[in-house]
Amino acid sequence: MLTKLLAREVGRRPASVRLQGRVLFLTEDPDLIRRQLAGEDLDWDPSIPLRDDISTDEITPGWVCYYYDEKLGEYPYVGLRCDGEFPIGRNDVRNGGFVCSVSGKRRGKGSSREAAPFAEQAAGIRVVIAENIERIYRENCQNRGMLTSTDFSLIDKIRAGEEIPLESFIGEAGQIERDIIEYGGLLDYAVARLKGLVHVPEIPPRSRPMTVAEKILARHWVTDLAADEVGVDSVAPGDTGFVRTDLRFSHEYVTPMAATFWDAFAGPEAELNDRDSVVFFRDHLAFLDQVITEERRRKGLLDAAHALHDRQREFAARQGIRLHGELPDRVGSEAICHVMVQDRYALPGAVVIGSDSHTPHSGCLGAVAFGVGTSAIVNSWATRDVRLQVPPSVRIRVAGRLARGVTAKDLILEILRHPYVKGGEAIGKIIEFGGETVEALGVDERATLTNMAAEVGGFTGIVAPDSRTVDWLVERRGLDRGEVEDLIEGLASDADAEYEWTLEIDASSLRPMVAQPGDPGNGIFVDELADEVPVDIVYAGSCTGGKREDFDMYAEVVRAGLQQGRRVAEAVAAYIQYGSIDVEAYARERGYDRLFEEAGLRVLAPGCGACINAGPGVSTSTEQVTVSSINRNFPGRSGPGKVYLGSPYTVMASALAGRIAAYEPELAVPA
pTM exceeds 0.75 for this model: yes
The candidate with the shortest Cα–Cα distance to 410, out of 454, 445, 381, 436, is: 445
pLDDT digits (tens, 9 = 90+) for 414-439: 999 999 999 889 989 999 999 999 99
Residues forming a β-bridge with 670:
663
pLDDT at position 395 is 98
pLDDT at position 635 is 86
> If you ran DSSP here, which 8-state letter would residue 639 be given?
B
Domain with 500, as residue range(s), is: 391-509
Residue 240 has pLDDT above 70, yes or no: yes
Helix axes 374-383, 135-143, angle to 10 degrees: 70
Is residue 165 in some structural domain?
no
Q: Are strands 523-525 and 513-515 parallel, antiparallel or unpaired?
A: antiparallel
Residue 552 has pLDDT above 90, yes or no: yes
Handedness of CA 56, 57, 62, 64 (dihedral sign): negative
Contact predicate 422/335, CB 8 Å: no
Q: Amino acid identity, residue 21?
A: G
Cα angle for residues 41, 46, 52 (degrees, 5° grid): 90
Residues whose CB falls within 8 Å of the CB of residue 606, separated by 6 or more in sequence, listed in order? 283, 327, 332, 333, 334, 335, 336, 546, 577, 578, 579, 580, 581, 583, 584
Helix axes 443-451, 408-416, angle to 10 degrees: 20
Is residue 357 in some structural domain?
no
**Residues 518 and 567 placed together within one structural domain of the fold:** yes
Is residue 300 in some structural domain?
no
The candidate with the shortest Cα–Cα distance to 218, out of 205, 464, 273, 228, is: 205
Q: Can you give the CATH number for the domain in which 75 is found?
A: 3.20.19.10
Is residue 32 in some structural domain?
yes
Average pLDDT for residues 465-486, to the nearest whole number?
98
Is residue 372 in some structural domain?
no
**Residues 605 and 643 placed together within one structural domain of the fold:** yes
Residue 312 has pLDDT above 60, yes or no: yes
CA distance 435 to 395: 10
Average pLDDT for residues 211-226, to the nearest whole number?
96
Q: Can you give the CATH number for the domain in which 416 is found?
A: 3.40.1060.10
pLDDT at position 345 is 98
CA distance 632 to 520: 6
The candidate with the shortest Cα–Cα distance to 648, out of 587, 585, 582, 564, is: 587
**Residues 666 and 584 placed together within one structural domain of the fold:** yes
CA distance 295 to 304: 14
In the chain, what's the furthest Cα-to-Cα distance? 73
**Residues 72 and 141 placed together within one structural domain of the fold:** yes
**Residues 535 and 519 placed together within one structural domain of the fold:** yes
Is residue 582 in some structural domain?
yes
Contact predicate 253/277, CB 8 Å: no
> If you ran DSSP here, which 8-state letter would residue 344 be given?
I
pLDDT at position 419 is 95
CA distance 491 to 486: 10
pLDDT at position 2 is 60
Average pLDDT for residues 473-485, to the nearest whole number?
97
Average pLDDT for residues 26-47, to the nearest whole number?
96
Residue 526 has pLDDT above 70, yes or no: yes
CA dihedral 447, 644, 294, 96 (to 10 degrees): -90
**Residues 587 and 661 placed together within one structural domain of the fold:** yes
- Edge to edge, the sheet with strand 460-462 lists 460-462, 430-434, 393-399, 501-506
**Residues 499 and 519 placed together within one structural domain of the fold:** no
Q: How confident is the model at residue 171 (pLDDT cuts 50, 70, 90)?
A: confident
Is residue 155 in some structural domain?
yes
pLDDT at position 226 is 84
**Residues 412 and 494 placed together within one structural domain of the fold:** yes
Q: Are strands 669-670 and 663-664 parallel, antiparallel or unpaired?
A: antiparallel
Handedness of CA 79, 81, 87, 88 (dihedral sign): negative
Q: Is 342 helix (H, G, I), strand (E, B) or coil?
A: helix
Q: Are strands 393-399 and 430-434 parallel, antiparallel or unpaired?
A: parallel
CA distance 361 to 462: 8
The candidate with the shortest Cα–Cα distance to 555, out of 535, 580, 578, is: 578
Cα angle for residues 551, 654, 643 (degrees, 5° grid): 95
Contact predicate 249/274, CB 8 Å: no
| Cα separations in angstroms, 441 against 115, 209, 438 | 36, 27, 5
pLDDT at position 5 is 72
CA distance 164 to 318: 45
Average pLDDT for residues 617-624, to the nearest whole number?
96
H/E segment holding residue 140: helix 135-143
**Residues 536 and 666 placed together within one structural domain of the fold:** yes
pLDDT digits (tens, 9 = 90+) for 152-163: 999 999 999 999
Residue 628 has pLDDT above 90, yes or no: yes
Q: How many residues does the chain have?
A: 671
Residues whose CB falls within 8 Å of the CB of residue 268, separated by 6 or more in sequence, listed in order? 318
Cα angle for residues 318, 347, 236 (degrees, 5° grid): 105
Q: Is 54 helix (H, G, I), strand (E, B) or coil?
A: coil
> If you ran DSSP here, which 8-state letter would residue 527 be given?
G
Q: What is the mean pLDDT of the chain?
A: 95
Q: Can you give the CATH number for the domain in which 553 is found?
A: 3.30.499.10
Q: State which of 114, 140, 160 marks the end of a domain.
A: 160
CA distance 490 to 522: 38
pLDDT at position 332 is 96
**Residues 403 and 439 placed together within one structural domain of the fold:** yes
Residue 150 has pLDDT above 80, yes or no: yes
Q: How confident is the model at residue 667 (pLDDT cuts 50, 70, 90)?
A: low
The values of phi and psi at residue 633, to 5°, are -130, 35
pLDDT digits (tens, 9 = 90+) for 321-377: 999 999 999 999 999 999 999 999 999 999 999 999 999 999 999 999 999 989 999
CA distance 595 to 396: 37
Residue 9 has pLDDT above 90, yes or no: no
Which of the two residues, 636 and 645, has the higher pLDDT score?
645
CA distance 46 to 155: 12
**Residues 414 and 526 placed together within one structural domain of the fold:** no
Q: State which of 476, 509, 542 marks the end of a domain.
A: 509
Contact predicate 209/498, CB 8 Å: yes
Handedness of CA 409, 516, 431, 495 (dihedral sign): negative
Is residue 208 in some structural domain?
no
**Residues 518 and 485 placed together within one structural domain of the fold:** no
| Cα separations in angstroms, 84 against 31, 111, 511 | 12, 22, 31
Q: How far is residue 178 CA from its own chain's centroid?
A: 25
pLDDT at position 1 is 52
Q: State which of 132, 160, 188 marks the end of a domain.
A: 160
For 552, other C-beta atoms within 10 Å of its C-beta total 16
- Tally of structural domains, the chain: 3
Q: How confident is the model at residue 135 (pLDDT cuts 50, 70, 90)?
A: confident
Q: How confident is the model at residue 400 (pLDDT cuts 50, 70, 90)?
A: very high
Contact predicate 26/102, CB 8 Å: yes
Q: Is 258 helix (H, G, I), strand (E, B) or coil?
A: helix
